[in-house]
Structure 1
């Protein structure tokens, strides 16, 4: 078989598979509402988690409604019972004023009791937002350098390649 024919067959196979793929979220992401979510199985600092999500063409999750919060908390509790997950907000720019990445304000919040408290047991400042299992996956602030799991989010694909 000639190399040219192999190339044509591989391209045709890829196009047929792409045309039959009706998923609106990438492999491994879960669809809810207008977003796709990926719950990591690896740990990283806030900065590492943000970079990992960017590598996947997404961003750290932003929770903007009760419905989204209910979905994320429910999934978090089903995902191996991990102790916590990074979300995409910090108060690094202005202490006490958490903002989503890209500077969007938090118009919806779901802080756990007495949170945010801005310090850990050793009085280290906590500036990054996460879900904490001990608070039933409600919001907590945490030292940004801690290695924990994370949730990536991207918008649902609007284009299906079906004729």
Structure 2
């Protein structure tokens, strides 16, 4: 516990903090001066601004006694986000609908760490929340954001026959491949705790 307190104190150096409630993380030296929802190592229910000062001890007290978010049974937590690997296999669309019924969506991969986690988590070819259904060659995540960080396998995406949905290809590596959206694969759902 003392190591964690030291790490948080270092991260908060030269900050004035105002805890407010709501699910947030406290980023290390973001320079933005305001709280934000982020997948950082410290996941607590608190936000902050630089407007009202609190002592570090008061902040530490608030952080310790706030509830730590947890995932529903069967879901795995990684970096303040809950993930569920389906037991069934189905099309990309049906996989996404299953996620939505559970208050989630297909996974959006935002970092190398998340890609590594998911690659270890999925043991078979698995749908992710990426497609180019709307415009061929323009890959978009299910949350509406364009693809900026990618882990495509060599010569992928290749659109080898109406391949508009992305999967983590685990047969011989953990990179991505485009496949027909009607293929029957497992999927990974993602949601906040």
Gaps of 5+ in 1: 1-20, 158-163
Cα RMSD for the two superposed structures? 1.5
CA distance in 2, matches of 1:52, 1:137: 23
C-alpha distance in 2, partners of 1:128/1:142? Answer: 6
TM-score (norm 2): 0.63
Is 1:139 aligned with 2:176? yes
Q: Is the 8 A contact 2:99 2:106 kept in 1?
A: yes
Q: Contact between 1:112 and 1:135, CA under 8 Å: does it hold in 2?
A: no
Tell whether the 8 Å contact from 1:60 to 1:86 is kept in structure 2 after alignment. yes
Displaced runs of 4+ in structure 1, greater than 6 A? none
2:133 paired residue number: 92
Query: Shift of residue 22 of structure 1?
Result: 6.5
Using structure 1 for the length normalisation, give the TM-score.
Answer: 0.74
CA distance in 1, matches of 2:73, 2:102: 11
The answer as to whether partners of 1:45 and 1:147 remain within 8 angstroms in 2 is yes
After superposition, residues 123-138 of structure 1 pair within 5 angstroms as 124-138=161-175
Equivalent in the alignment of 1:34 = 80
Contact 2:119 2:170 in 1 (8 A): no
Q: Give the structure, 1 or 2, with the largest relative contact order (CA under 8 Å, sep 6 or more).
A: 1
| 1:93/1:104 CA distance change after superposition, 3 Å | same
Q: SS where residue 134 of structure 1 aligns?
A: coil
Higher deviation after alignment, 100-109 or 30-39: 100-109
